[in-house]
């Protein structure tokens, strides 16, 4: 009720422990707090908060227009309601290395378990689009070093994302990943890998967990968790899946109202009021509210 029952530190420590175990962690993207609760209830391992989704939620393209305040606020709202560790997309860190340091501390304060910071040039663009540019290795490592040095909770996960595959190829990706680990990255996110062999090459080259981005309509095939695990991947994100499903359903509903004058035909596919209340744990709020209004002070007492 109201908030997660575990502390942010405990969720960060749990994330690191799970990663150290060699498991493959599945982290669907939550586009609001309610979907984070659903992700937890269904038994997933973590919650991912996508920069592309946060941008779309504001009616903006994913080209670096969102601010640190917007991202930290929304990510904090999502992290607040789940006992799962939440990983957030922090783009390029929202500025120079000092800005990166502030970004990490604000995300710590918001209750996130970790973030990833990428090596694109500002303004960045979606990782699965063409025409990307990346900063040189010196700038990329400055960002990660600033992030690692700025955290106050050593359990906060600093992940480095590199987009260099689309610009310079796989060998450059491996060299960049090694440099980012040397700079303090706790995990590596190699964006837009072409196949399982490329994921395996990166995972073999670095001594930290590797993340795979299984986004629809992107440059990577939609591999299964078992396939990715066999390639050495330890985290899998599905960043925009739930938003795309929800928006597809919303379009169909609106079109039906226009066509028929009623939403009645869509009701069977809707989440029911009872199911929504179950997910929200409405009964606990009701019990808590009743306990306030039915409270009676003890006779002769001062309470």
CA distance 71 to 232: 30
What CATH architecture applies to the domain 8-240? Alpha-Beta Barrel (3.20)
Active-site residue identified among 11, 16, 26, 126: 126
Delimit the domains of the chain by residue range. Answer: 8-240, 247-293
| Catalytic status, residue 221 | no
**Residue tagged active-site, from 118, 119, 155, 163:** 118
**Cα 202 to the chain's mean position, in Å?**
21
Q: Which of 12, 18, 26, 48 is catalytic?
A: 48
Report how far residue 181's alpha carbon sits from residue 132's, in angstroms, rounded to the nearest whole number. Answer: 22
Q: Tokens in use for 1?
A: 């009720």
β-partners of residue 159 are 116, 187
d(CA 224, CA 128): 19
Tokens of 125: 């663009």
198 is catalytic: no
| Each residue's pLDDT tens digit, 23-43 | 999 999 999 999 999 999 999
The pLDDT score that the predictor gives to residue 243 is 98
User: What is the structure's pLDDT at 4?
Assistant: 93
Residues 40, 45, 89, 108: which is the catalytic one?
A: 89
Residue 241 has what pLDDT? 98
Give the per-residue pLDDT at 129.
61
Q: Catalytic annotation on 213?
A: yes
Asked about 91 being catalytic, the answer comes back as yes
Q: Which of 11, 40, 74, 91 is catalytic?
A: 91
Which listed residue (40, 45, 62, 119) is catalytic? Answer: 62
pLDDT at 260: 98
Q: What is the pTM of this model?
A: 0.93
With CA atoms as reference, report the closest residue to 19 among 273, 164, 203.
Answer: 203
Average pLDDT of each block of 10 consecutive residues along the chain (303 residues)?
91 97 96 98 98 96 94 98 98 96 98 97 67 91 98 98 95 98 98 96 98 92 97 98 98 97 96 93 82 59 48
> Could you say which of 145, 151, 161, 244 is catalytic?
161
- Give the per-residue pLDDT at 283: 86
* Closest CA relative to residue 25, chosen from 171, 157, 149: 157
Which residues contact residue 202 at a Cβ distance below 8 angstroms, ignoring those fewer than 6 apart? 173, 174, 177, 188, 190, 193, 210
At 139, list the tokens.
């700038």
| Residue 89: active-site member | yes
Q: Given this model, what pLDDT does residue 286 score?
A: 80
What's the CA gap between 181 and 184, in Å, rounded?
A: 5
191 catalytically annotated: yes
Q: Give the pLDDT score at 132.
A: 76
Specify whether 116 is catalytic.
Answer: yes
Q: Of 16, 26, 116, 143, which one is the catalytic site residue?
A: 116
Q: From the candidates 119, 163, 191, 198, which is the catalytic residue?
A: 191
Alpha-helix residue ranges (DSSP H) falling in the chain: 8-20, 33-41, 51-57, 68-80, 97-109, 137-150, 165-168, 170-182, 196-205, 225-230, 241-260, 273-280, 282-293
């Amino acid at each position: 009720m109201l908030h997660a029952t575990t502390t942010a530190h405990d969720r960060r420590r749990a994330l690191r422990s799970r990663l150290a175990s060699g498991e493959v962690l599945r982290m669907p993207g939550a586009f609001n707090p309610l979907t984070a609760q659903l992700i937890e209830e269904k038994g997933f391992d973590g919650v991912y908060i996508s920069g592309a989704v946060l941008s779309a939620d504001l009616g903006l393209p994913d080209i670096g227009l969102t601010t640190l305040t917007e991202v930290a606020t929304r990510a904090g709202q999502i992290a607040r309601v789940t006992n799962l560790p939440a990983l957030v997309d922090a783009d390029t860190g929202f500025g120079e290395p000092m800005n990166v340091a502030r970004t990490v501390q604000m995300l710590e304060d918001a209750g996130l378990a970790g973030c990833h910071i990428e090596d694109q040039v500002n303004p960045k663009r979606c990782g699965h689009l063409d025409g990307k540019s990346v900063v040189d290795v010196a700038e990329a490592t400055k960002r990660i070093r600033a992030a690692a040095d700025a955290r106050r909770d050593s359990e906060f996960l600093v992940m480095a994302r590199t987009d260099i595959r689309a610009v310079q190829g796989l060998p450059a990706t491996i060299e960049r990943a090694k440099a980012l680990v040397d700079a303090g990255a706790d995990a590596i996110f190699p964006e837009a890998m072409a196949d399982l062999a490329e994921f395996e090459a990166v995972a073999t080259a670095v001594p930290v967990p590797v993340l795979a981005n299984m986004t629809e309509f992107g440059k990577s095939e939609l591999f299964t968790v078992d396939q990715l695990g066999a390639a050495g991947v330890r985290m899998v994100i599905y960043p925009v899946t739930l938003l795309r499903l929800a928006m597809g359903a919303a379009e169909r509903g609106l079109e039906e109202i226009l066509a028929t004058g009623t939403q009645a035909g869509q009701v069977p596919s809707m989440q029911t009021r009872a199911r929504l209340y179950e997910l929200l744990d409405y009964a606990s709020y009701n019990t808590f509210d009743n306990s306030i209004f039915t409270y009676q002070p003890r006779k002769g007492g001062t309470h």
